[in-house]
């Protein structure tokens, strides 16, 4: 069924599409003193960010996808990322619901109609956006200072990393998000920033859509091939690339698997952790000295 393939693809894409852009909240934001005490998060990235900001005691509901940090999985579940249960949400009497670009707009509308404060974050495309979101989230829950500090620290670390790799040769990188259909990271994903900060060149930065052909991968000849593990599919994918001997990455055995949970947890803090991993892949020499 085409439909199921597309749905599956779309969940993977979502997971990897990074954080969200704050669309202007329709309801007034709470004043500094009046912080929300019963928060419901409708996305794993948001849940993780709330934990980083140290407001986990105020989170009363999360989705079944919220597995990071492990404690988050113990919270009350209100549905999946795309199918939320409005009845359950109302029952939890939240004073703030934080939605994502994937939350069904009809559900959001319904909650707003019932007078619940709903703020939605849309899908973000780069690191700056990611920080902006984190900051907005911090403001929302009355932890602005903490958010600013964490962002500043992350930026510092990134600058340090960039200094390390700036004089090293830039390698051509191909990051694969999906296997059937083959899906690449384009400019529209924060992973693109990840590659560039780590001193690489994303070979599909210019692609309009991530749907690309294997032929094109062979033609653009990446030096490094990074596959996000989609369950078992990652291993299979690694094998299937072996038959394309002309690709530098295959010739020199530079095919790597990165845990998709990692690559899909977009908060400034985890971004930095991930960046270090990517730098090790691209420039192992930077760490041998």
Site residues (vs other proteins, CB under 8 A): 2-3, 6-7, 10, 13-14, 17, 64, 77-80, 82-88, 90-91, 93, 101-102, 104-107, 109-110, 113-114, 122-123, 181, 188, 208-209, 211
CB of 101 to other proteins, least distance (A): 5
Q: Which is nearer to other proteins, 52 or 183 (CB)?
A: 183
Cα dihedral 124, 130, 136, 140 sign: positive
Could you tell me the smallest distance in angstroms from the CB atom of residue 17 to other proteins? 5
Q: How far is the CB of 262 from other proteins (least distance, A)?
A: 19
The dihedrals phi and psi of 182, each to the nearest 5 degrees, come to -60, 125
For residue 78, the minimal CB distance to other proteins (Å) is: 5
Give the separation between CA 146 and CA 256, rounded to whole angstroms: 35
Which CB atom, from 149 or from 209, has the smaller least distance to other proteins? 209
**How far, in Å, CA of 34 to CA of 16, rounded?**
34
CB 248 within 8 A of CB 222: yes
Cβ proximity to other proteins, 112 vs 155, nearer residue:
112
Nearer residue to other proteins within complex by CB, 73 or 82: 82
Nearer to other proteins, 54 or 181 (CB): 181
* Shortest distance, position 206 Cβ to other proteins, whole Å: 15
Q: What is the DSSP letter of 287?
A: G
Place of tokens 């210019």: 206
What phi and psi values does residue 258 have, to the nearest 5 degrees?
A: -120, 135
Which spans in the chain are helix H?
2-15, 44-52, 86-91, 105-113, 127-140, 144-165, 190-197, 214-220, 233-241, 248-251, 260-263, 268-282
The smaller minimum CB distance to other proteins, of residues 199 and 266, is found at: 266
Residues 186, 83, 142, 27, CA torsion sign: positive
Q: Which is nearer to other proteins, 160 or 180 (CB)?
A: 180
Least distance (Å) between residue 228 CB and other proteins:
15
| CA quadruple 204, 206, 208, 214: dihedral sign | negative
Shortest spacing between CB 25 and other proteins, in angstroms: 15
Separation of alpha carbons 224 and 252, rounded Å: 9
């Amino acid at each position: 069924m085409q439909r199921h393939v597309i749905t599956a693809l779309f969940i993977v894409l979502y997971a990897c599409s990074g954080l969200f852009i704050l669309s202007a909240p329709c309801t007034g934001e709470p004043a500094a003193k009046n912080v929300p005490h019963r928060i419901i998060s409708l996305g794993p990235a948001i849940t993780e960010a709330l934990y980083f900001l140290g407001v986990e005691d105020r989170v009363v509901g999360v989705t079944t996808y919220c597995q990071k940090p492990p404690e988050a999985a113990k919270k009350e579940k209100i549905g999946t990322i795309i199918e939320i249960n409005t009845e359950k949400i109302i029952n939890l009497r939240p004073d703030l619901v934080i939605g994502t670009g994937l939350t069904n707009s009809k559900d959001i509308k319904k909650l707003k109609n019932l007078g619940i404060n709903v703020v939605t974050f849309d899908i973000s495309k780069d690191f700056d956006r990611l920080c902006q979101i984190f900051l907005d989230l911090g403001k929302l829950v009355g932890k602005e200072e903490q958010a600013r500090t964490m962002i500043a620290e992350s930026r510092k670390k990134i600058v340090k990393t960039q200094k390390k790799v700036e004089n090293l040769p830039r390698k051509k990188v191909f990051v694969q998000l999906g296997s059937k259909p083959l899906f690449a990271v384009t400019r529209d994903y924060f992973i693109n920033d990840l590659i560039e900060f780590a001193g690489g060149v994303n070979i599909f930065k210019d692609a309009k859509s991530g749907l690309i052909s294997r032929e094109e991968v062979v033609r653009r000849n990446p030096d490094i091939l990074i596959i996000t593990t989609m369950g078992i599919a990652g291993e299979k994918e690694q094998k299937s690339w072996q038959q394309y001997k002309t690709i530098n990455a295959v010739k020199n055995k530079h095919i790597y698997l990165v845990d998709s949970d990692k690559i899909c947890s977009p908060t400034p803090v985890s971004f930095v952790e991930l960046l270090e991993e990517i730098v090790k892949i691209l420039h192992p020499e930077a760490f041998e000295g």
